[in-house]
């Protein structure tokens, strides 16, 4: 019987040679290592492109010139492999792409990619510091769930997709947990924080090192006209866009009660303001600001990451945006544990944040302020998450 059957060893060899043949044809350079992170934290990027005239590298670690992303020329060796080695880089997660004769190309030797709105880039992590928080470490891991909740009050769609992180041990425990609601920015969706933001890795690592309390993190879709991320709804595999209806017009804020109801009926949570936090980046910071005012006594922890602050005049008519100062005063009167504001020095929302802090000062509202380097970037938002989460739900 054994003799008669095709040897599995042969099938394996067959499999592998097919793969290699395909790679040789398509990827050109299956044996190339790229990216390669060196012990001194420099990184070498390589691309086999013998016929290319010019290959450049773009990446988060190359300074942009105004609005134009920076790039560095790569150098070709005799085998047709182009390479570039960075200086030692600060420990972090970086996105990068190649520009081959002006065309953006993914690194064929790196399957690790993230999508930001309509753009996909490769990623690399430089460890030994901040980047370790974004890496999967040998620590207990939480569970990540994509599920759907009822949104019957929503005029656009009746079911909406949400990503939920539950901490290690949640399923075996009978404990109730606090909840962080974590909101994305314009063009984002319920995949943004878990993928771009590395939420599961950050939480796993901070909880394992006892820097953060075990908590549930709920990553919503803040575009009320959208059921789910592009490709995850019945709209099909369409091209993502920044242009969405119903994002900053008060509708997400008014319907947010549906998210809370869903979370508090589905999960074992502590349904008290001292166990609810809300934070978001950019548009999600805007939502955080307004949701936390609009639902008094609901959240004791607020995080505004590079937040947009005030509504557009067109939307100022929404009841959510009425009497902003009064409702902030009420929020102060009700009391809270943390109002946390972070923004980069180069952020285009820096000035509006300064004005917003002036308003909080005028209203004698306490807040903690973090001013970082850089601008309106995921590098900052990931960093803010790692700074904010340890401040939550301390007993």
| Closer residue to a second copy (CB): 91 or 113 | 113
Interface positions, 53-72, toward a second copy (CB under 8 A) = 58, 67-69
Pick the binder of a second copy from 82, 177, 336, 356 (CB under 8 A). 356
Task: Lay out the site mask for a second copy across 151-170 (x = CB under 8 A, - = otherwise).
Answer: --------x-x---------
Residue 351: exposure state from Cβ atoms within 10 A (0-12, 13-18, ≥19): exposed
Question: If binding is defined by CB under 8 A, does position 39 make contact with a second copy?
Answer: no
Q: How far apart are CA 40 and CA 49, in angstroms?
A: 27
Question: If binding is defined by CB under 8 A, does position 108 make contact with a second copy?
Answer: yes
Locus of tokens 């549906």: 258
Pick the binder of a second copy from 62, 208, 270, 316 (CB under 8 A). 316
Contact 149, 159 (CB under 8 A): yes
| Closer residue to a second copy (CB): 297 or 355 | 355
- Residues paired with 76 in a beta bridge: 82
With H, G, I as helix, E, B as strand and everything else as coil, classify residue 31: coil
Question: If binding is defined by CB under 8 A, does position 314 make contact with a second copy?
Answer: yes
Measure CA 387 to chain center. 15
Interface positions, 17-36, toward a second copy (CB under 8 A) = 17-19, 21-23, 25-28, 30, 33
Measure CA 261 to chain center. 24
| Closer residue to a second copy (CB): 209 or 297 | 209
Question: If binding is defined by CB under 8 A, does position 117 make contact with a second copy?
Answer: yes
Interface positions, 263-292, toward a second copy (CB under 8 A) = 266, 286
Question: Which two tokens mark 207?
Answer: 């909880």
Pick the binder of a second copy from 214, 222, 230, 280 (CB under 8 A). 230
The distance of closest approach from Cβ of residue 395 to a second copy in the complex, given in angstroms and rounded to an integer, is 27
Locus of tokens 């109730």: 176
| Closer residue to a second copy (CB): 110 or 274 | 110
With H, G, I as helix, E, B as strand and everything else as coil, classify residue 78: coil
| Closer residue to a second copy (CB): 127 or 391 | 127
Task: Lay out the site mask for a second copy across 334-353 (x = CB under 8 A, - = otherwise).
Answer: --------------xx-xx-
Locus of tokens 């009425």: 322
Question: Which value, to the nearest 10 degrees, does the dihedral of the CA atoms of residues 268, 272, 274, 279 take?
Answer: 70
Question: If binding is defined by CB under 8 A, does position 104 make contact with a second copy?
Answer: yes
Question: If binding is defined by CB under 8 A, does position 205 make contact with a second copy?
Answer: no
Q: Which stretch binds a second copy (CB under 8 A): 138-146, 272-280, 289-297, 329-337?
A: 138-146
DSSP annotation of 284 reads H
Q: Which stretch binds a second copy (CB under 8 A): 119-127, 288-296, 333-341, 387-395?
A: 119-127
| Closer residue to a second copy (CB): 32 or 391 | 32
Interface positions, 169-188, toward a second copy (CB under 8 A) = 171, 186-187
Q: How far apart are CA 352 and CA 350, in angstroms?
A: 6
Question: If binding is defined by CB under 8 A, does position 118 make contact with a second copy?
Answer: yes
Q: How far apart are CA 308 and CA 280, in angstroms?
A: 10
Residue 124: exposure state from Cβ atoms within 10 A (0-12, 13-18, ≥19): buried
Pick the binder of a second copy from 120, 153, 322, 363 (CB under 8 A). 120
What Å distances lie between residue 290 and 185, 238, 362, CA to CA?
14, 31, 18
What is the DSSP secondary-structure string of 41-83?
A: S-EEEEEE-TT-S-EEEEETTS--BTTBPPEEE-EE-TTSEEE
- Residues paired with 147 in a beta bridge: 162
Question: If binding is defined by CB under 8 A, does position 103 make contact with a second copy?
Answer: yes
Pick the binder of a second copy from 234, 333, 364, 395 (CB under 8 A). 234
């Amino acid at each position: 019987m054994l003799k008669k059957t095709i040897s599995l060893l042969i099938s394996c060899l067959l499999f592998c040679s097919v793969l290699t043949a395909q790679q040789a044809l398509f990827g050109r350079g299956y044996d190339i290592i790229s990216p390669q992170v060196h012990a001194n934290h420099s990184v070498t990027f390589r691309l086999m492109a013998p016929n290319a005239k010019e290959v450049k590298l773009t990446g988060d670690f190359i300074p942009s010139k105004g609005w134009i992303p920076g790039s560095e020329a790569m150098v070709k060796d005799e085998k047709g492999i182009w390479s570039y080695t960075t200086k030692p880089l600060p420990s972090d997660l970086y996105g990068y792409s190649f520009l081959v004769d002006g065309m953006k190309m993914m690194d064929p030797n790196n399957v690790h990619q993230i999508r930001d709105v309509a753009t996909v880039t490769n990623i690399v992590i430089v460890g030994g510091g901040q980047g370790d928080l974004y890496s999967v470490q040998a620590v207990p891991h939480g569970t990540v769930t994509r599920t759907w909740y009822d949104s019957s009050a929503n005029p656009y769609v009746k079911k909406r997709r949400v990503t939920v992180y539950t901490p290690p041990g949640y399923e075996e425990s009978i404990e109730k947990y606090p909840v962080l609601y974590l909101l994305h920015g314009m063009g984002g969706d319920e995949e943004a924080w878990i993928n771009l933001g590395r939420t599961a890795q950050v939480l796993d690592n901070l909880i394992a090192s006892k820097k953060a309390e075990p908590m549930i993190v709920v990553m919503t879709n803040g575009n009320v006209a959208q059921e789910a991320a592009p490709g995850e709804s019945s709209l099909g595999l369409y091209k993502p866009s920044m242009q969405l209806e119903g994002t900053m017009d008060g509708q997400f804020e008014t319907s947010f009660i549906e998210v809370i109801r869903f979370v508090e009926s589905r999960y074992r949570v502590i349904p008290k303001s001292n166990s609810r936090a809300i934070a978001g980046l950019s548009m999600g910071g805007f939502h955080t600001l307004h949701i936390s005012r609009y639902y008094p006594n609901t959240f004791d922890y607020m995080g505004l990451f590079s937040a947009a602050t005030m509504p557009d005049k067109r939307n100022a008519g929404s009841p959510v945006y009425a009497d902003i100062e009064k409702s902030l005063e009420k929020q102060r009167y009700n009391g809270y544990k943390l109002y946390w504001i972070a923004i980069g020095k180069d952020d285009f929302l820096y000035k509006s944040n300064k004005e917003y802090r002036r308003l909080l000062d005028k209203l004698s509202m306490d807040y903690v302020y973090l001013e970082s380097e850089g601008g309106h970037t995921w590098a900052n938002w990931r960093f803010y998450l790692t700074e904010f989460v340890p401040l939550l739900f301390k007993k």
